[in-house]
Amino acid sequence: MARYKHYDYNQTKMILLRFADQIQPGTFEYTLNHVVDTDLDLSVFESRYRNDVNGAPAYDPAILLKVVLFAYSRGITSSRKIAQACRENVIFMALSADSQPHHSTIAEFISRMDEVIAPLFTHVLMVCDGLNLIGREMFAIDGCKLPSNAAKEWSGTRAELNRKQAKIDRAVSRMLTAHQHDDRQDQPPEILAREQAQIEKLEKVSAKIKKHLATAPERLGQRGTPVKGNITDPDSANMKLIYRLDIDGYIADNQFRKRDPRFAESVTFNTAKAQRRKERGGQVAQRFIPADFDYDPLTETCRCPAGQPMWKRFKGLIDEQETISFQGYRQHCRDCSLKHQCLRRPNQQDGRQVSFALGERKPLSSFIEKMKQKIDSPMGRHIYSQRLGTVEPVFGNLESNKGLSRFTLRGKSKVNAQWLMYCMVHNLEKIATQGQQRH
Ligand code: SF4
């Protein structure tokens, strides 16, 4: 019979731990601890506290700032999880000097960071500058899309929200009638309770929409027409690129690489895949092009190469060109024997889309043409290619490494504060990894 080493869960052992020793030089936490303690002016938090004579002592903002930024660097955004880490993770314990802040304290601290984030962010930048981490050659702005803490189904113009609210009210009244009928029929109490809960839930939704409609003003787009607003976070919106400031913008179109001779030799992922398949003697199927589809401009209907009808998806302007587009029905495309020639991916969920320009192709507006010329100029190409080494790594680091997949706060200023805290983490990492080499 096998023998195993002896162990005893009832034994005791004393493990000595000095928290300061857990914050090792050369690590992110060491840099964070050092910068917060020596470089940041935390007097910006002073006005929050009125306990100099009376009241319990508060958690030191330095402690809270350290644990929050460290948590962000580890992809943790939930206040409960940060509080849990402060009880269970030795680095969090060390950074918080084992003071174990409550999750509600952490949540409140984060939600009020918009009041103080600007000077703190600047101080970290100044530390970067002191370590020659800022080149001072170029100042570039770029954007990336990140989901807000607001669901899309809570978005709509006032007219759409009015319709939604009326629909919910009608559903509530129908359910109430059915509920009263069930009550008379002596339905089991659990069914009645479930119906009642559903009614209350819908009434709450209706009240939420009503409150929004009564308090929030109509949101207008650039042309003064109503645009969708969101009930949960009125500041959130579908992203639009607006250059209101005097910014030297570079906005590439999706063909700019094709026009750039530097990419003449390069092959896209799909082309390379097709080439490899050809080399192996396989068939490279050409995807059906719009000419392969049977579009009738009079009836505005379309049949695909398999002879199946398609539904009209869109008719309107795309890049200033009147366009009509159709899409195949999922159930047709899923079982279609031609899907390898038609769909981008044979297992894709949605049906094939195809678009047709209506009338003569219009020349692109002067703005688009001008931007193309600017992007295609030697200076434009040089500046645009710098994105790869300047701002793209920041987005990549924050989204992929730090797990910033969506904002957890609501409202423009709070979302901005959360974004800046993530950027502080990025800059502190730079100080931790590059700063020591340059110092
Ligand atoms: S994949 Fe869909 S759209 Fe394409 S030919 Fe088949 S049914 Fe028609």
In ligand 1, which atom is closest to the CA atom of 337? 6
Longest Cα–Cα distance in the chain: 87
**CB-ligand 1 contact for 398 (6 Å cutoff):** no
Are 23 and 113 in the same domain? yes
* Side-chain-facing half-sphere of 250: CA atoms under 13 Å: 18
Are 92 and 39 in the same domain? yes
pTM of the model: 0.66
**CB-ligand 1 contact for 302 (6 Å cutoff):** no
Are 76 and 181 in the same domain? no
416 CA from centroid of ligand 1 (Å): 45
In terms of C-beta density within 10 A (0-12 exposed, 13-18 middle, 19 or more buried), how is residue 198 classed?
A: middle
Classify residue 326: in a domain, yes or no: yes
Closest by Cα among 64, 105, 77, 84 to 404: 77
Please report, in tens digits, the pLDDT of each residue of the chain (439 residues total): 899 999 999 999 998 989 999 999 999 999 999 999 999 999 999 888 888 888 889 999 999 999 999 999 999 999 999 999 999 999 999 999 999 999 999 999 999 999 999 999 999 999 999 998 888 877 777 878 888 777 777 778 888 888 888 888 888 888 888 888 877 777 788 888 888 888 888 888 888 888 888 887 777 776 677 777 787 777 776 655 447 566 788 888 878 888 888 777 666 666 666 666 666 666 555 789 999 999 998 999 999 999 999 999 888 877 677 889 999 999 999 989 999 889 988 788 889 999 998 877 666 667 888 888 898 888 888 888 887 778 888 898 999 898 888 888 888 889 999 999 999 999 999 999 987 655 4
**CB-ligand 1 contact for 339 (6 Å cutoff):** yes
Q: Token digits for 436? A: 């020591």
- DSSP secondary-structure letter at 377? S
Q: Mark which of 230, 245, 262 sits at the end of a domain.
A: 230
Distance CA 199, CA 171 (A): 9
Are 50 and 101 in the same domain? yes
Number of domains in the chain: 3
Q: Token digits for 398? A: 């924050």
Distance CA 334, CA 308 (A): 12
Are 97 and 125 in the same domain? yes
179: amino acid identity, one letter: H
Are 19 and 143 in the same domain? yes
HEC-encoded secondary structure of 84-108: HHHHHCHHHHHHCCCCCCCHHHHHH
Q: What's the start-to-end Cα distance of the chain, in Å?
A: 62
Classify residue 278: in a domain, yes or no: no
**CB-ligand 1 contact for 353 (6 Å cutoff):** no
Are 71 and 183 in the same domain? no
Classify residue 296: in a domain, yes or no: yes
302 CA from centroid of ligand 1 (Å): 12
Classify residue 5: in a domain, yes or no: no
Counting every residue, how long is the chain?
439
Classify residue 263: in a domain, yes or no: no
Domain that holds residue 51: 14-150+403-439
SS3 category, 326: strand
CA-proximal residue: ligand 1, atom 2 (nearest): 333
**CB-ligand 1 contact for 354 (6 Å cutoff):** no
Contact between 365 and 107 under an 8 Å Cβ cutoff? The reply is no
